[in-house]
Structure 1
Amino acid sequence: MVTGTATAGTVPTGTAPADQAAAVRERAWEVAAAVPDPELPMLTLADLGVLAGVEVTAPEGEGPGDVVTAWLTPTYSGCPAVAEMAADVDRRLRAAGFQDVRVRLRLDPPWSTDLITAEGRRKLAEAGIAPPRPTSAVAAPGPVLLTLGPTRGPGPATAAAPVVCPRCGGADTEELSRFGSTACKALWRCRACREPFERVKEI
């Protein structure tokens, strides 16, 4: 349940309590949603789908104002950027005037690349990073058969869902390495324009 009083000067005097709470929550969401991802700074946490929700509840006891709780779902449980994300959300909410801030992790349901918004995918492509394909277009869940083979190859793309080059738009691409500059990215190359590019892996 969301209750509480106005903070950070965001709600006009005389606003009904329910409207007050909604306005405070909306303002808190806007602040947290604008925090950039440490590893993909062209994306906000909202673009990435990592910001799972913002709750505003009444202060506990004689607290100074509403309790704002921001929920984050990390891209994977061992993501090294989670601590920085949480600290940045906390810092920005306090700078916006929210005095009692909590940042919590939510692992269930788990994060998926399907949570990246259309705007986030557009920003990735503009930055020269191939966005992930919908997970429904990749291999079905289940045991993965591991085989030895050359490092370079067409990678996991299929004719139905190719990895498109973010530079020229070509679909004739190949994977150079499963490991890019961060754990969530792989290194690819376009055979048409011959340019290398990174790609966000599907999860």
Structure 2
Amino acid sequence: MPMLTLADLGVLRGVEVNGGAVDGGAVDGGAVDGGEEVVVSITPTYTGCPALATMRDDLVHRLREAGFARVEVRIVLDPPWSSDWISERGRAALREAGLSAPGPAPRRSGPIPLTLGPARSAPPCPRCGSAATRLTSEFGATACKALYRCTGCLEPFEHVKEI
């Protein structure tokens, strides 16, 4: 999703330069003064995310361009990523690109019940705002998105799933 930065997506967990923490500016296109070594921690949106290798490669490329000789990308799986970590700017960017942003992640305590039926949500249409939408496929271009169709404006759209 090129309209999002890793920080907006909530994937960027931390950046350390020569042992000192900095903000994610260099990762998302800014510059960092000094330092030869950087360690970036990211959490994939879900285990097995096919975009993880691309995210890691882009981080290494951008940080080397910013002047870091040694770049390490760490994958952090605990706690798992939540769609609640998407920033408001990220949610707006998704809507502007015609994607339905996820609602709040489900809250659970204790064991997670096994359900064999599809998850049911009714995201509003990102184009016209209508709540009259219909699921057409549980999976879109990637497993983290579902396909919907608006019955108001008849446009298809992808919805980023709540995790």
Which of structures 1 and 2 has the bigger CA Rg? 1
Partner of 1:182: 142
CA gap of 1:135–1:147, structure 2 versus 1, over 3 A, is closer
Cα distance in 2 for partners of 1:182, 1:66 equals 36
CA distances 1:159-197 after superposition (whole Å, capped 9, x unpaired):
xxx411001001111111101111111000111111111
User: Which amino acid in structure 2 is aligned with residue 101 of structure 1?
Assistant: V
1:200 aligns with 2:126: no
Equivalent of residue 104 in structure 1, options 71, 74, 78: 74
Equivalent of residue 8 in structure 2, options 40, 47, 54: 47
CA gap of 1:173–1:68, structure 2 versus 1, over 3 A, is same
Q: TM-score, normalised to structure 2's length?
A: 0.83
| Backbone CA RMSD of aligned residues | 2.0
Partner of 1:121: 91
- Alignment check: 8 A CA contact 2:36 2:67 kept: no
- The secondary structure found in structure 1 opposite 2:78 is coil
User: Which amino acid in structure 2 is aligned with residue 189 of structure 1?
Assistant: R
Matches within 5 A, 1:1-203: 40-57=1-18, 65-136=35-106, 140=108, 142-147=112-117, 156-157=120-121, 162-203=122-163
- The secondary structure found in structure 1 opposite 2:147 is strand
Question: What percent identity do the matched residue pairs reach?
Answer: 56
Q: Which has the higher contact order (CA 8 A, sep 6+)?
A: 2
CA distances 1:82-108 after superposition (whole Å, capped 9, x unpaired):
111111101111111111211111111
Q: TM-score, normalised to structure 1's length?
A: 0.67
CA distances 1:8-33 after superposition (whole Å, capped 9, x unpaired):
xxxxxxxxxxxxxxxxxxxxxxxxxx
**Residue ranges of structure 2 left out of the alignment (5+ in a row):** 20-34
Cα distance in 2 for partners of 1:133, 1:147 equals 20
- The secondary structure found in structure 2 opposite 1:135 is coil
Cα distance in 2 for partners of 1:117, 1:184 equals 17
CA distances 1:118-162 after superposition (whole Å, capped 9, x unpaired):
0000000011100000114xx7563133249xxxxxx612xxxx4
Partner of 2:23: none
Greater percentage in helix? 1
- The number of equivalent residue pairs is 147
Runs of 4+ aligned residues of structure 1 deviating over 4 Å after TM superposition are: none
- The secondary structure found in structure 2 opposite 1:84 is helix
